[in-house]
């Protein structure tokens, strides 16, 4: 686990953060080359990433610049008192008219949906996608609030340019590449003055920046210019949390330089990387300081307390609460307490006096120790739940689902709140660790299981364990039921449920395994052995659970009489069922994950035509049309394909699902009808109408008979719906009447319709 502290008291912009990350990596050139490839794969082109070592004040830092090939870097401007003196990517946002080091493609304007689709459809790691979408989403929401438009209608101007996208997505990628799991950001400077934008002259900080910095500690120190850009604020909002430098062991430092070199201060953003301290080291680290503000009241109605608590939190309190107390003269009252950062004490104290009936308050400074906290979003059977994780010394100690998410999902699903919460989401956040039920718990064992992320419940009922648990742990010597009886009863109801039995001897271990235990633990317990055994059982359990589902899905696909082929967004084949193997002659094990769908089409133009038709769609689309597939032997097989294009939330195509039906029988029927038509033309040319009609009857009877036979076979299919059966029956009756007419015509012309079926 890598921690990072961003010292942005000189200012923050996207290019400066990228430069600081590259500088801290230890091999900036190699990582920049890697980043260039990532951006090309994202779909960007016509640019070069340029790194240069510069001095800003007395500090040497790395300058990161995106040079566009169509216009190159913009010339360095002269100082302008209306403009910032920071020189980051300020012009990226709001169409700010700033001159800076990047050469923007100023005609490039992308809206929020386009950028989101570009990111989601890319091959970026999922964590990078999530971070980039979060950062751009925060900026889009800020713009929407400022301009009073729906977030879907937000259009980025300079932020949609190539260099700005590289700054934003590049920062997310570099944080992931360096393994940063927690980013803490220092207080940010607001700057001052005005800037010229596409919306006119705006004061600094510009509206989007101050929207993004809601809740962040900020300051003004007299410097002029735009010191924090909207892109910098969006990255800080989405990827970091405000706070002092965390307790850690520093491992690397990087300095990201701005374009300008102002007098009197160092125009660099500093990034410090480090490892979390161990539990023994963390105990010696001083805690951070908070301000505790309190007052007691005895004349305030209970209905007013929620509004007071809300006002304290809105003023900047980290926590606020009321506790009942007995005051002098036996009066019942409430002790109101708020905890906040020292710099917010004035605002919180003012809120307490304004919204309560107290005539005064008390303040004192307190030391606070907290776990390293972060939020993750996890999937549960009811939907996504945010889970707050708490760690110390790199070890995960707490995982708590957010109550609001659990309550919302429980209400939507119509289930009790306890089914959504009570550790279920937390255990998913802890790496998918299962629920463990333990009989007559051993304290050491409970602690070990909880540290592994298990939700530990206690029970003395084997039936309860068999119904609810993912893992059962029971001592061999147990009351009222022995470990042997536990094994027998659990196995009667759940033959596959993993079960650990704690034993004291080899004899007990042997008896437990014979009774159905999955594995045994020997007393005294050893932490490493216990962890390894539990993890091994978890792995086996997940494999067993996944195998039946995967096998059933494979059987369903292979049972389908039509070829089913699915691809990802790039066209790479992901699914190839048995019918597809029979149709094309390719083996699934050779083609899945190795070949593109285009190699199966008869010609590249046909594949391109289908692709263009699907790309023109903006939502889930189904396309039905004939295509020819090329088999492994080079044969051109006519098929009728139903293609479904799947689109993600950003509007980008996620993949294709295709069902291909062998159309060779219908193709042969069409050829025979064409032959009959040709013979009819020849007969007319000879001037013999009777011979023409006879020839037509001769040739038409056989394909009609074949078509009737095919319809009879189709009507015998058990999965056919009643509506489809009725339509096939109507078609069969029409063909039968047509065949009767053919036989009558053949009889009139004395031309037998078929040697095998003489006319009557």
Cis peptide before 500 (omega within 30 of 0): no
Percent of the chain past pLDDT 70, that is, above it, reads: 72
Six token digits for residue 187: 């207080």
Residue 282 lies in a domain: no
Whether 476 and 533 share a structural domain? yes
Residue 731 lies in a domain: yes
The per-residue pLDDT for range 322-352, each reduced to its tens digit, is 999 999 888 999 999 999 988 888 999 999 9
Q: How confident is the model at residue 160 (pLDDT cuts 50, 70, 90)?
A: very low
Residue 390 lies in a domain: no
Instruction: Look at residue 352 in the predicted model and tell me its pLDDT.
Output: 95
Whether 489 and 637 share a structural domain? no
C-alpha distances out from residue 285 to 277, 278, 340, 480, Å: 9, 11, 21, 47
Helices 305-314 and 345-355 cross at an angle (nearest 10°) of 160
Phi, psi of 2 (to 5 degrees): -115, 130
CB 252 within 8 A of CB 44: no
Q: What is the CATH number of the domain that holds 614?
A: 3.30.450.20
Cα–Cα distance for residue pair 59/76, rounded to 1 Å = 21
Residue 667 has pLDDT above 70, yes or no: no
CB 120 within 8 A of CB 650: yes
Residue 389 lies in a domain: no
Q: What is the CATH number of the domain that holds 708?
A: 1.20.58
Give the structural domain span for 359: 288-368
Cis peptide before 524 (omega within 30 of 0): yes
Cα–Cα distance for residue pair 629/641, rounded to 1 Å = 10
Residue 96 has pLDDT above 50, yes or no: no
Higher-confidence residue of 700 and 250: namely 250
Among 493, 526, 559, where does a domain finish?
559
Name the most confidently modeled range: 114-123, 385-394, 549-558. Answer: 114-123
The per-residue pLDDT for range 420-464, each reduced to its tens digit, is 654 444 444 444 444 455 554 555 566 666 665 566 666 677 777
Instruction: Look at residue 421 in the predicted model and tell me its pLDDT.
Output: 57
Q: Rounded mean pLDDT of 100-128?
A: 72
Residue 408 lies in a domain: no
Residue 690 has pLDDT above 80, yes or no: no
Q: Which helix (H) or strand (E) holds 398?
A: strand 395-401
Query: What residues contact residue 107 under an 8 Å CB cut-off, 6+ apart?
Result: none
Domains in the chain, number: 5
Instruction: Look at residue 530 in the predicted model and tell me its pLDDT.
Output: 74
Higher-confidence residue of 429 and 1: namely 1
Residue 152 lies in a domain: yes
Give the HSE-up count for residue 482: Cα atoms under 13 Å, Cβ half-sphere: 9
CB 73 within 8 A of CB 89: no
Cis peptide before 411 (omega within 30 of 0): no
Whether 50 and 189 share a structural domain? yes
Whether 265 and 324 share a structural domain? no
Among 513, 530, 559, where does a domain finish?
559
Six token digits for residue 466: 């068999």
Q: Kind of pairing, strands 653-662 and 636-647?
A: antiparallel
Instruction: Look at residue 62 in the predicted model and tell me its pLDDT.
Output: 96
Six token digits for residue 270: 């500093």
Q: How confident is the model at residue 102 (pLDDT cuts 50, 70, 90)?
A: very low
Instruction: Look at residue 80 in the predicted model and tell me its pLDDT.
Output: 34
Whether 505 and 569 share a structural domain? no
**How many Å separate Cα 464 from the centre of its chain?**
35
Six token digits for residue 729: 């029956």
Residue 499 has pLDDT above 70, yes or no: yes
Whether 97 and 191 share a structural domain? yes
Among 276, 300, 333, where does a domain finish?
276
Residue 613 lies in a domain: yes
Six token digits for residue 620: 């889930």
Higher-confidence residue of 470 and 348: namely 348
Cα–Cα distance for residue pair 636/626, rounded to 1 Å = 12
C-alpha distances out from residue 329 to 298, 326, 361, 508, 555, Å: 11, 9, 20, 66, 79
The per-residue pLDDT for range 30-79, each reduced to its tens digit, is 999 999 999 999 988 889 999 999 999 999 999 999 998 864 443 333 33
Whether 546 and 474 share a structural domain? yes
Q: What is the CATH number of the domain that holds 364?
A: 3.30.70.1380
Cα–Cα distance for residue pair 458/465, rounded to 1 Å = 9
Q: Which residues are registered as beta bridge partners of 110?
A: 156
Whether 576 and 494 share a structural domain? no
The residue written with tokens 């050469």 in the block is 103
- Please provide the average confidence, as pLDDT, over all residues in the chain: 77
Whether 614 and 688 share a structural domain? no
- From 160, 5, 18, 178, select the one nearest 88 (Cα to Cα): 18
Q: What is the CATH number of the domain that holds 483?
A: 3.40.50.2300
Residue 395 lies in a domain: no
Sign of CA dihedral 692, 697, 698, 700: positive
Whether 135 and 72 share a structural domain? yes
Six token digits for residue 163: 């260099």
Whether 467 and 567 share a structural domain? no
pTM of the complete model:
0.43
- From 602, 738, 603, 633, select the one nearest 676 (Cα to Cα): 738
Whether 87 and 226 share a structural domain? yes
Q: Kind of pairing, strands 471-475 and 435-438?
A: parallel
Sign of CA dihedral 103, 104, 107, 108: positive
């Amino acid at each position: 686990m890598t921690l990072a502290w961003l010292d942005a008291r000189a200012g923050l912009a996207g290019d400066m953060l990228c430069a600081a990350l590259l500088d801290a990596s230890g091999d900036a050139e190699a990582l920049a080359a890697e980043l260039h490839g990532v951006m090309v794969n994202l779909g960007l082109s016509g640019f070069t990433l340029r790194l240069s070592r510069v001095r800003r004040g007395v500090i040497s830092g790395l300058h990161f610049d995106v040079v566009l090939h169509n216009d190159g870097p913009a010339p360095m401007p002269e100082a302008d008192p209306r403009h910032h003196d920071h020189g980051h990517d300020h012009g990226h946002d709001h169409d700010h008219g700033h001159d800076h080091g990047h050469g923007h493609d100023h005609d490039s304007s992308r809206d929020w949906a386009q950028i989101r689709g570009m990111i989601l459809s890319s091959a970026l790691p999922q964590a990078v996608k999530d971070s980039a979408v979060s950062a751009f989403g925060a900026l889009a929401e800020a713009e929407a609030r400022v301009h009073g438009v729906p977030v879907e209608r937000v259009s980025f101007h300079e932020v949609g340019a190539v260099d700005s996208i590289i700054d934003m997505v590049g920062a997310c990628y570099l944080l992931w590449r360096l393994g940063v799991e927690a980013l803490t950001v220092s207080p940010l400077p607001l700057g001052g003055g005005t800037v010229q934008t596409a919306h006119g002259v705006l004061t600094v900080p510009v509206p989007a920046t101050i929207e993004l910095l809601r809740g962040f500690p900020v300051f003004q120190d007299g410097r002029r210019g735009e010191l924090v850009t909207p892109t910098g604020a969006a990255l800080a909002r989405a990827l970091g949390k405000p706070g002092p430098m965390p307790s850690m062991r520093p491992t690397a430092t990087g300095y990201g330089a701005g374009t300008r070199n102002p007098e009197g201060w160092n125009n660099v953003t500093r990034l410090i990387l480090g490892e979390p301290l161990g539990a023994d080291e963390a105990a010696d680290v001083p805690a951070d300081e908070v301000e505790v503000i309190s007052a007691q009241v005895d004349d305030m109605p209970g209905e007013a307390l929620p509004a007071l608590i809300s006002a304290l939190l809105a003023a900047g309190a980290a926590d606020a609460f009321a506790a009942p107390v007995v005051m002098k003269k036996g009066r019942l009252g409430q002790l109101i307490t708020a905890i906040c950062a020292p710099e917010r004490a004035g605002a919180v104290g003012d809120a307490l006096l304004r919204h309560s009936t107290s005539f005064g308050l008390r303040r004192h400074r307190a030391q606070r120790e907290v776990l390293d906290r972060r939020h993750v979003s996890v999937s549960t059977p009811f939907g996504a739940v945010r889970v707050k994780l708490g760690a110390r010394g790199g070890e995960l100690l707490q995982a708590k689902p957010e109550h609001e998410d659990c309550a919302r999902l429980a209400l939507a699903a119509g289930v009790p709140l306890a089914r959504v919460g009570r550790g279920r989401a937390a255990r998913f956040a802890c790496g998918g660790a299962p629920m463990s039920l333990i009989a007559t718990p051993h304290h050491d064992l409970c602690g070990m299981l909880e540290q592994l992320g298990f939700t530990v419940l206690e029970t003395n009922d084997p039936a309860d364990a068999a119904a609810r648990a993912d893992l059962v742990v029971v001592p061999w010597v147990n009351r009222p039921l022995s470990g042997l009886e536990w094994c027998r009863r659990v196995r009667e109801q759940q033959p596959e449920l993993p079960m650990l039995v704690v034993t004291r001897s080899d004899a007990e271990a042997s008896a437990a395994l014979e009774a159905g235990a999955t594995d045994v633990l020997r007393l005294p317990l050893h932490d490493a052995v216990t962890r390894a055994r539990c993890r091994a059982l978890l792995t086996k359990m997940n494999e067993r659970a996944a195998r039946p589902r995967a096998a059933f899905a494979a059987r369903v696909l292979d049972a389908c009489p039509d070829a089913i082929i699915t691809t990802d967004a790039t066209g790479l084949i992901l699914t190839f069922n048995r019918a597809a193997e029979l149709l094309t002659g390719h083996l699934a094990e050779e083609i899945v994950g190795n070949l593109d769908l285009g190699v199966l089409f008869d010609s590249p133009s046909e594949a391109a035509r289908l692709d263009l038709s699907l790309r023109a769609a903006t939502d889930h689309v189904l396309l039905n049309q004939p295509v020819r597939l090329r088999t492994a032997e080079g044969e051109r097989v006519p098929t009728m394909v139903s293609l479904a294009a799947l689109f993600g939330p950003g509007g980008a195509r996620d993949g294709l699902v295709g069902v291909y039906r062998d159309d060779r029988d219908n193709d042969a029927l069409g050829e025979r009808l064409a032959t009959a038509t040709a013979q009819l033309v020849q007969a007319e040319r000879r001037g013999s109408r009777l011979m023409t009609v006879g020839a037509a009857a001769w040739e038409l009877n056989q394909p009609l008979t074949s078509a009737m036979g095919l319809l009879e076979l189709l009507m015998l299919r058990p999965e056919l719906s009643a509506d489809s059966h009725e339509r096939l029956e109507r078609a069969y009756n029409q063909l039968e009447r047509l065949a009767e007419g053919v036989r009558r015509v053949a009889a009139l012309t004395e031309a037998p319709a078929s040697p095998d079926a003489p006319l009557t």
